[in-house]
Structure 1
Amino acid sequence: MAIENEPYPFGWKHDGSYVNHNNYDVANIFRYGWPHMSPEQKRRAASKIRDMLHWTLNSSLQNDGSFRTVPAFFS
């Protein structure tokens, strides 16, 4: 979580915003690490997953069911 706001390719975001590609990667990392996390780490990870899901449903999901892409970023 310490690198969340670092610039790509190290951090989670592109130009300060979530992107679907990185959200997917971060969620997978959390999934693999989940059994090894403390309760506090799980709480923080769950909160970040909620934030990413909220962004996806409210900023990326389009009316036709597709997702907004970022041409300047691999999506």
Structure 2
Amino acid sequence: GRNGQQATAILYYNMSDIAPNRKGLSEEIRKFCLNKCTCLRKHLLQYFGFSNVLYCGSPENCCSNCQKK
């Protein structure tokens, strides 16, 4: 969030939205939507070129995949 505040984002999609033959949809977006086990925050950070960004908060506040662990 802005100024270090907590934020929430929700991505609504169905399987036809992320079909492999869908025009204009990158493979990275498909991988992000299908990712059910690794940290979604790290996935986004790696996409934008960041690799060593630390997160010091609790897993419940990181992403939906980290909440499940």
Normalised to the residue count of structure 1, the TM-score between the two structures is: 0.28
- Which has the larger Rg? 2
